[in-house]
Amino acid sequence: MIDLTRTFVTSDHHFRYWKHPVHLHCESTEEEEREHIALWNSIVGKGDLVFYVGDFCDGTDHDLQEIRGQLNGRMILIKGNHDMNSDEAYRQAFEDVLEEKRIDELNLRLIHVKDKAEGLRPGERVIYGHQHRGISLRPATTSDSICVSAKWHGWRPLALAEAIRQMDAVN
C-alpha cells in the first residue's frame, strides 16, 4: 500500500534549462536551480517515493545524473516530451522509467500529457504535467484531474495525499 503522505508527484522542472531564471529574485538560472533543489530536499526525504511526471532535465546525460544525485527520494520517471536523454542515463538515475503509470488501488493514472490518457477506467483520475507556460494557460484542477507541473505548486513536489485532496475539494 502506498503511503500517501510520503509519496510525491511533480513534473516540469526542466533542470539545466539555462535560458533565463523564472524567479525575479534570482540572478541566474544556476541560483534558481539551487533553490529548487533545496526546496525539494526540504520536503522529500531520502526514503520517500516521487513519481516524476515528465520533463525532468533538458541537459546532457551527465547533467541528468548530477541533478538526480542532489535530489532526495526514490524516483520513478513517467517520460515527458523533453525527456530525451539516453536509456542508460535514465536506468542509472531512476528506479523505473515508464510512459504512464496506473495506481490501481487509488484508481489513478499518471501521464505527462493529459490528452494522451486514453481508455480511462470508470472514475479513474489523471495526474499529469506538461502545462507550465503563461499565466493564461494555468490548468484547472478538476474532480478527475490535477496538473502537477512544478511552476503551479511553488516548485515543490506535491504529496500524493494533497493532490487527491485538491481533486476531492472540487466536488
pLDDT in tens, 81-137: 999 999 999 999 999 999 999 999 999 999 999 989 889 999 999 999 998 766 556
Give the whole-angstrom CA distance, residue 31 versus residue 131: 24
pLDDT in tens, 16-59: 875 555 655 656 677 788 899 999 999 999 999 999 999 999 88
88 part of a folded domain = yes
Would you state the pLDDT for residue 134? 62
Give the whole-angstrom CA distance, residue 156 versus residue 36: 8
**SS3 call for 142:** strand
- Beta strand ranges found along the chain (DSSP E): 7-10, 49-52, 74-78, 96-98, 100-103, 108-111, 125-128, 145-147, 158-159
Give the whole-angstrom CA distance, residue 159 versus residue 51: 10
Specify the number of domains making up the chain.
Answer: 1
Structural domain including 106 reads 7-170
109 part of a folded domain = yes
Nearest to 114 by CA among 125, 96, 104, 126: 126
125's grid cell = 483520475
Give the whole-angstrom CA distance, residue 13 versus residue 70: 14
pLDDT in tens, 130-156: 987 665 567 889 899 999 999 889 889
Give the whole-angstrom CA distance, residue 127 versus residue 129: 7
Would you state the pLDDT for residue 131? 82
2 part of a folded domain = no
Give the whole-angstrom CA distance, residue 104 versus residue 49: 17
Give the whole-angstrom CA distance, residue 154 versus residue 3: 23
The DSSP symbol for 112 reads: S
37 part of a folded domain = yes
Q: What CATH number did the domain enclosing 119 receive?
A: 3.60.21.10
- HSE-CB of 72 using CA atoms within 13 angstroms: 18
pLDDT band of 164, cuts 50, 70, 90: very high
1 part of a folded domain = no
